[in-house]
Each structure stands twice: as C-alpha cells, then as structure tokens.
C-alpha cells in the first residue's frame, strides 16, 4: 500500500494544490478527474516526486509522445537510456514480452521516433515506463493526442498488460467518460483539492459535489439507444 | 449552399484528396471525421481556396467560396492569432473588415457561451492558455454572423465539460442565424451529437457519408465500425441496450 | 544520395566558374596598367615604354579579354594553374608552399576559437542572466567589435614588445604561430560564443526534456545526449559562414605578422597584377567553400536525418 499525505504545491505565491493525502493499493486503478486547471497534473507530479524520494518505483507517461522522445535519438537509444537510468544492465529486461503485449514488436528500433506512427510511439513510451515493473504508473491524458482508434487500442493494450499485476495505475484526465471505463475508483478535483472520491459506479450514480455532478452530466456526447 | 464537386487534390505524385463530392446547405452541419493524415485539414484549406484542386469545382451559391467571407477556426489555436496584437484587436477583425461595430449584446452572448472572461481580450495570444485561445478563435469566427463556418478540430484544447458547453453555443447560434458549418474532428462523439451528416475520410477518399444514427447502428465499412467502437471505448459515445 | 551528389557537383561547377569569371573581369578592368605593374614587380625599377610593351606582349595582355580568359581557363580545366606572369615559375608549387604555411595557422586559429567559445558558452549558460553570462556576452561583443589588425598589434605590443615572451614576425619556429593564431582564434571565438550559447539555451527549452529527466536520466547524461546534439545544429549552420571569416582573417593576420602564406601570396600577387597567381588562389578558395558546405550538409543529415527525409 502506498500512502502519502500532506502533498501540496505553490506556484508564484498561489496555492495550486492544497494539502492532499492519498492511499493507493497494489494493482488499484484510480482515475484523477477534473476540469482544466483543477490541479490534476500538479498532484500527479508532486505525488511522483514524493514517492520517488521514498525509493518507490514510479513511472510517468505524458500526453503526447512528442513530449517524451528526442527526435534526434533512435528508439534503441531511448530504451538503453531508460535502462541505464534505472541502474540496469543493458538488455537485462526481456523487452520482447513487453513489446509483444503492447504490439510494437515489429517496430524498427534503429529508427528515430518520427519513423514510427504516433500510436506506436506512445506505446513505446508506455513500454519504457513499464521497464522496471513499477509500483505505480501515472498516465497524464495518455490518449488525447492520439487518433481515437489508436487511443482506444493503446488503452486496451495497457489494460491487458496490467491485468493481474501489482502495478497500480493513476489515470489523469479531464474526460470522465474515458476514466469511467478504465478505473475502479475516481477522485474528483476542483481548484487544487480532491473534493470527492468514491468507487466509479457510486460517483456515476450519485455524484455529491458540484464538480462531480458537472463531470457526470457531461461525460459523453450522446447516448444512443440500440 | 456549399458544393464540392469531384474534387481531387494532388500532393507530389499521390493524391491528398481524391474525387470528393459533398454539399452543405445553410443551417446544416457536416462533420468530417477520420484518422490523422486522411486529408481532413486539406479539405478545409481547399474549400477556402488556399489550395487549388487539380480537378473539380468548389462553389458557394454558384459563386466562389471567398465571396461569402467564410469564417475559419484553425487547428493550432495560438498560431491563429498575430502574437503582437491583443486578442481584442484580433477577434474584432471580422467586424473591422466590414467597418461595423459588434453590439455589446452579441459580445456578452459569445463571452458567456464560451465561458470567456472579458479581461483576457486585453492580453496577447502568448499570455492566455491554449484553451482560452481556442475559444477566442471561435469567438472571432462567430462575431460577425457569418454564412459559412469552417472549424478544424475546434474543441481539441478544451476539457470535456467546456467542450460540451462550447458545442452547444455553436449549435444554438446556428439554429438562430442559419449558417452552414463544416466541422473537422476526430471526435466521433461530437460529430454524432451535433452534425446532420457525417463524412468519413480515409486516405483522401470519402468512405461513407450518412446520418449519425445510421452510422452508429450500422456502419457500412470496417473502418467506420472501428471508429465507432473506439468512440465507445473512449467514452465519447454511449450505446445503451 | 546519388541525386544529392549530382546536385553538389552542379553547385560546385556553377560557383567555381562564376567566381573564376568574376575575378577575371574585375582584375582585367581594374584601374591602372597591368603590364606596368608586372614589369615593376619583375625588375623592381622604373622602366621605359619598350620594356612595358614587351611585358604586355609576353603576358598576353594585348590579345583582348576573351582570348586571355580562354588562355587561362583552358589549362585550368586540366588542373594546370599556369605560370606566374612575374617570375615565370609554375604557380602550383609556390601555391603549395603558401598553403603549407597557411594551414597550421588556420587550424590553430580554429581550434583556439572553438576551445574559447565552447568553454565560455558552457560557463555562461550555467546561470543564464547571471554575472558570468553577462561577462561572457560582453567579451563576445567586444571581440566582434575589435578588428583583427588592431588586436594583432595589441598582442604584438604586449607579448612581443613589453613581455618579450613570443616572437612577433616571421614563421621560422612553431612559436611563431602562437600570436597570429591567437589573433585569429579570438575573432572566431567572439562570434561562435553567442551562437553556442543561444543554441544551448534553445535546446534546453525542448519540450521532451522534462519527461526524460523524470525517467531518471542524470543531468550530465541529458546535457551530453540530448542538449548537445540539438545545440550543435545552429552551430554547424554558422560554421560555413565562419570559414569565410576565417579566410579573411588569415589574409589580414599573415600580412600583419609578416608570415608567408596564402594571404601574403595573394596580396603580393594582386599588387603585381599577377593574374595566374591571383586566379589560382581564388579558385582554390572557392573550391574550399564548396567542399566545406557539402560537408556541413552531410553533418546536418547525420545529426538530424529528418532534413534528408523531408527532401525525399
């Protein structure tokens, strides 16, 4: 169980994250949802820093692969760099299993990121995040820069890969519709605070706060009877 | 009425768009969906006349499209504004071009609907968030009561709740003023909720044009089914039994 | 790749024939009587009209422009630079000697320039806006503002005259190269410092760096593997221009320090209106430019293959 308390953040004299506590069970899937500027990403970063300082293994995946990969460096370079950063021997991790389960096994590692499709780049970033079988993986809007078809496939592959593993997941997103299908527990943020947290079903059925009600009301574009 | 008649656009030795035909009547909305690189944005610049079609015609009421002064919302919100001018100067350009002044009711209506506070208009594009810039771009497109509006991923930088509010404002104004809207989006949910017709573009060709409900219930091609399932998987669309 | 190579050869041909024609035209139409200048250089005395006419005849100067041009270009196509109008000796061996003197100077100048600018820029970007940074920028601006002939004289005054540590004139010992190379290097450093500095600062702003840092990569690793390649791109771009600056500097510095070399060779040849010699230097310089720019193109594609991929 990962427990942290007293997480907070101040930027330019303004409190952007009020003191916050979190408990994350192994293998748990948590959705951190809220409007733009509610402090979701900040909480993610502060949480990662705190857990890292305690020696936990935490991985982070950001919105777009452009923000994670150096266009001048080959995929193999990125992979070795990530291994070295974790203090591993080169090639110590069996990347084939990981690559196969994320469906990037046929990518050419000698190429640079822009030689791969964006969906494959993002799955490569996720693979790098999973190298060390981390205690927690934090995904910050992992699908919003991808094509819907690719984004859905990426999320499904990650779900399947994490199935039955100890690695906990925090999915940060503004889109409750996306989170609702992927996580078992939701935390709703507003102006730098977690204002509501409960199992996903419960929030979808009975949102308590204004922020949660608004997210629930607008969680999808349209409901179609079929 | 916008008519795109058998338009083909070349890119190098291949085609960016191939044999595209579609029409859009005043008061109606056409959504163009498809994967990145399918030619969605090329379609918009071609309609605007910025790219010359290799074959085919594009007309608005029998005349060139520029004759109706189409309004445009570009994909990169911040790049859509002159970085040296205040947003106020930029968003009022369509009015200045007509030598008119926007009524304060209209400004208030747009600001409320887009959840924009007035003070951001004094800032420059670099001093506002991408989401604010995107809504300011929509403000600029709608301020002068246009007859044709072209929107390229108009909601991409907004959060899920603001997206829905913004889409509602565009739809409300359209109902009152009767402009034609062409929306390029990768969000099938948005397209389903607000378009009268959906065109699916794949590698430069139209795969299917149909009514949203038909699209949702019985997509005609494999690719269209994939698109629909992805929208469901991402929570943009809910299909209940 | 073959297409690129063809492009290079074509560019080289255009540049070389262009410069050859342009210099020939300029020399031909320069004010004064070339025959008189050549004769003066040959005999180093006041001369009668007969002698000058004879020289004019010998140097082919009364044949008219196109005949003279053809007489020069023809052998050049077989890499024959001809014979000096003054001494009558073949141009190429003399030119080779001049190059042998010039090369160590140019390379040393370049090395000094790179060493100074790299270390200055790296120190400067430790804390952008800090006093070290401002100091580095100030030095660089000062360096750009000071012309080589003045800087050279200052260095001679300080190190050769007052301190008497180093020789000022000539090229007898390796020590003789120090002051001229320093003069040259300081000029190069002045302009490179700013470019390296802004290159590093810009590379630091790349959007993917925070993610790499969060993956646990050390800041030393990031500097070496990510910032350096990105910062190198603008530096490589400027390097081609820097070469022009360097050659210009070499000419000046050789004259100031009384060194034999390409610059001195060129200046003497111009004074004497020794067409074959001047032309040889110009063609060689142009060839050097074209080659360096080709190398820069290649280096670009090694650092950032997107450049090649985009063209295809």
Instruction: Give the CATH number for residue B157.
Output: 3.40.50.300
Mean pLDDT of B141-146: 92
CATH code where residue A210 lies: 3.40.50.300
Residue A81 lies in a domain: yes
Residues C248 and C103 in one domain: yes
Report d(CA C94, CA C86) in Å as an integer.
13
Q: Which residues in chain A touch residue C216, judged by CB atoms under 8 angstroms apart?
A: 82, 85-86
Question: Does the pLDDT value for residue C87 go beyond 70?
Answer: yes
Residue C55 lies in a domain: yes
CATH code where residue C203 lies: 1.10.3720.10
Residues C100 and C249 in one domain: yes
Question: Does the pLDDT value for residue B124 go beyond 60?
Answer: yes
Average the pLDDT over each of A55-69, C95-109, C292-306 and give the range with the smallest value: C292-306
Residues C238 and C172 in one domain: yes
Chain A interface includes B162 (CB < 8 A) = yes
Residue A226 lies in a domain: no
Contacts of residue C38, Cβ cutoff 8 Å, sequence gap at least 6: C55, C59, C85, C86, C272, C273, C274
Q: 3-state DSSP: chain A helix, strand, coil percent, rounded to 5?
A: 40, 25, 35
Which pLDDT band holds residue B107 (cuts at 50, 70, 90)?
Answer: very high
Mutate to test the interface with A, among C204, C205, C206, C214 (most CBs of A within 10 A): C214
Residues C25 and C159 in one domain: no
Mean pLDDT of C4-26: 82
Nearest-CB residue to A67 (from C208, C216, C309): C208
**A81 vs C212: CB contact, 8 Å cut-off?**
yes
Domain that holds residue C263: 95-271
Record the pTM.
0.81
Question: Does the pLDDT value for residue A145 go beyond 80?
Answer: no
Mean pLDDT of C51-75: 75
Residue B192 lies in a domain: yes
Residues C121 and C260 in one domain: yes
What is the reported pLDDT for B101?
85
Please, are residues C100 and C265 in contact by the beta-carbon 8 Å criterion?
no
Give B126-130's long-range contacts (Cβ < 8 A, gap of 24+).
B126/B78, B126/B83, B128/B87, B129/A36, B129/A37, B129/B157, B130/B77, B130/B78, B130/B157
Mean pLDDT of B178-186: 94
Domain that holds residue A183: 2-66+74-217
From residue C90, alpha-carbon distances to B56, C83, C84, C125, C283 in Å are: 68, 4, 6, 52, 16
Residue C158 lies in a domain: yes
Q: A164-185 pLDDT, tens per residue?
A: 888 999 999 999 988 988 999 9
Residue B39 lies in a domain: yes
Chain A interface includes B36 (CB < 8 A) = yes
Average the pLDDT over each of B37-46, C25-34, C192-201 and give the range with the smallest value: C25-34
A213 to chain B: closest CA residue: B161
- Which residues 199-228 of chain C have a CB within 8 Å of chain A? 206-208, 210-212, 214-218, 221, 225-226
Residue C283 lies in a domain: no
Residue B84 lies in a domain: no
Question: Does the pLDDT value for residue C310 go beyond 60?
Answer: no
Chain A: nearest CA to B131, how far in angstroms?
A: 9
Q: DSSP states of C231-261 as a string?
A: HHHHHHHHHHHHHHHHHHHHHHHHHHTT--S
Mutate to test the interface with C, among A76, A85, A110 (most CBs of C within 10 A): A85
Nearest-CB residue to A220 (from B158, B217, B237): B237
Count: domains in chain B: 1
Nearest-CB residue to A36 (from B131, B192, B239): B131
Average the pLDDT over each of A48-57, A62-71, C145-154, C191-200 and give the range with the smallest value: C145-154
Residue B132 lies in a domain: no
Q: C227-269 pLDDT, tens per residue?
A: 999 998 888 888 877 877 788 888 888 888 888 888 888 888 8
Count: domains in chain A: 1
What is the reported pLDDT for C309?
63
Domain final residue, candidates C271, C286, C305: C271
What is the reported pLDDT for C312?
39
Question: Does the pLDDT value for residue C303 go beyond 90?
Answer: no
Report d(CA B78, CA B132) in Å as an integer.
9
Residues C222 and C145 in one domain: yes
Residue C240 lies in a domain: yes
Question: Does the pLDDT value for residue B4 go beyond 90?
Answer: yes
**C212 vs A67: CB contact, 8 Å cut-off?**
no
Nearest-CB residue to A71 (from C210, C221, C306): C306
What is the reported pLDDT for C45?
67
Residue B98 lies in a domain: no
Residue C281 lies in a domain: no
What is the reported pLDDT for B6?
93
Residues C128 and C225 in one domain: yes
Mean pLDDT of A107-127: 89
Question: Does the pLDDT value for residue A190 go beyond 90?
Answer: yes
Q: DSSP states of C34-79 as a string?
A: HHHHHHHHHH-S---HHHHHHHHHHTTGGG-HHHHHHHHHHHHTTT
Residues C15 and C163 in one domain: no
Report d(CA B138, CA B183) in Å as an integer.
12
Residue A113 lies in a domain: yes
Residue C10 lies in a domain: yes
Mean pLDDT of C138-152: 82
Question: Does the pLDDT value for residue A210 go beyond 90?
Answer: yes
């Amino acid at each position: 169980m990962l427990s942290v308390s007293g997480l907070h953040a101040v930027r330019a004299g303004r409190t952007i994250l009020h003191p916050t506590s979190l408990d994350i069970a192994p293998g748990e899937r948590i959705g951190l949802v809220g409007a733009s500027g509610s402090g979701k990403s900040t909480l993610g970063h502060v949480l990662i820093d705190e857990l890292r300082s305690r020696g936990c293994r935490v991985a982070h995946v950001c919105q777009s692969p452009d923000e994670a990969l150096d266009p001048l460096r080959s995929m193999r370079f990125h992979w070795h760099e990530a291994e070295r950063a974790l203090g591993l021997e080169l090639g110590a991790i069996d990347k084939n299993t990981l690559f196969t389960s994320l469906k990037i096994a046929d990518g050419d590692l000698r190429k640079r990121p822009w030689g791969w499709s964006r969906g494959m780049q993002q799955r490569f970033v996720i693979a790098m995040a999973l190298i060390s079988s981390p205690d927690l993986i934090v995904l910050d809007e992992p699908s919003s820069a991808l094509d819907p078809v690719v984004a859905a496939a990426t999320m499904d592959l990650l779900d399947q890969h994490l199935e039955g593993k100890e690695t906990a997941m925090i999915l940060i997103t503004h889109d409750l519709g996306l989170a609702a299908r992927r996580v078992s527990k939701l935390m709703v943020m507003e102006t730098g605070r977690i204002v509501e947290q409960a199992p996903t079903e419960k929030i979808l059925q009975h949102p308590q706060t204004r922020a949660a009600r608004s997210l629930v009301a607008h969680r999808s574009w349209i409901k179609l009877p079929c | 009425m916008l008519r795109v008649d058998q338009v083909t656009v070349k890119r190098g030795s291949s085609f960016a768009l191939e044999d595209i035909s579609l029409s859009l009547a005043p008061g109606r909305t056409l959504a163009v969906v498809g994967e990145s690189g399918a030619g969605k944005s090329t379609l918009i610049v071609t309609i605007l006349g910025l790219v010359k079609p290799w074959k085919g015609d594009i007309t608005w009421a029998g005349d060139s499209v520029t004759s109706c002064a189409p309004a445009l919302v570009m994909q990169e919100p911040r790049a859509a504004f002159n970085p040296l001018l205040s947003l106020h100067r930029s968003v009022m350009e369509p009015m200045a071009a007509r030598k008119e002044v926007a009524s304060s009711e209209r400004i208030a209506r747009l600001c409320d609907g887009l959840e924009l506070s007035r003070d951001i208009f004094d800032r420059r594009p670099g001093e506002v968030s991408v989401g604010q810039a995107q809504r300011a771009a929509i403000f600029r497109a709608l301020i002068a009561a246009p007859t044709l509006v072209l929107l390229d991923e108009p909601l991409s930088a907004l959060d899920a709740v603001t997206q829905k509010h913004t889409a509602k404002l565009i739809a409300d104004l359209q109902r009152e003023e009767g402009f034609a809207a062409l929306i390029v989006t990768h969000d099938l949910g948005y397209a389903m909720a607000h378009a009268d017709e959906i065109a699916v573009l794949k590698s430069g060709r139209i795969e299917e044009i149909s009514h949203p409900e038909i699209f949702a219930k019985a997509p005609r091609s494999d690719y269209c089914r994939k698109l629909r399932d992805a929208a469901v998987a991402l929570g943009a669309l809910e299909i209940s039994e | 790749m073959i297409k690129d190579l063809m492009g290079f050869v074509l560019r080289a041909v255009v540049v070389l024939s262009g410069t050859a024609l342009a210099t020939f035209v300029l020399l031909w139409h320069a004010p004064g009587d070339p025959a008189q200048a050549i004769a003066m250089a040959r005999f180093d005395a006041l001369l009668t009209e007969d002698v000058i006419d004879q020289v004019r005849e010998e140097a082919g100067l009364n044949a008219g422009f196109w005949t003279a041009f053809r007489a020069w270009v023809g052998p050049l196509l077989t890499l024959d630079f001809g014979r000096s109008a003054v001494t009558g000796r073949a141009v190429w061996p003399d030119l080779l000697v001049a190059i042998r003197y010039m090369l160590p100077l140019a390379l040393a100048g370049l090395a000094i320039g790179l060493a100074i600018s790299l270390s200055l820029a790296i120190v400067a970007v430790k804390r952008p806006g800090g006093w070290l940074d401002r100091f580095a920028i100030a030095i660089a601006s000062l360096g750009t503002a000071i012309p080589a002939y003045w800087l050279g004289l200052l260095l001679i005054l300080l190190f050769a005259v007052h301190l008497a540590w180093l020789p000022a004139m000539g090229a007898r010992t390796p020590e003789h190269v120090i002051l001229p190379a320093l003069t040259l290097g300081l000029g190069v450093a002045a302009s490179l410092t700013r470019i390296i500095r802004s290159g590093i600062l810009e590379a630091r702003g790349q959007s993917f760096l925070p993610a790499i840092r969060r993956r646990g990569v050390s800041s030393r690793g990031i500097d070496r593997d990510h910032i350096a390649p990105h910062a190198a791109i603008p530096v490589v771009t400027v390097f081609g221009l820097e070469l022009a600056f360097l050659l210009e500097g070499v000419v000046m510095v050789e004259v100031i320090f009384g060194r034999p070399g390409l610059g001195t060779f060129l200046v003497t040849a111009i004074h004497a209106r020794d067409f074959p010699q001047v032309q040889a230097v110009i063609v060689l310089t142009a060839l050097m430019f074209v080659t360096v720019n080709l190398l820069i193109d290649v280096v670009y594609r090694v650092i950032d293959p997107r450049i090649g991929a985009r063209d295809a």
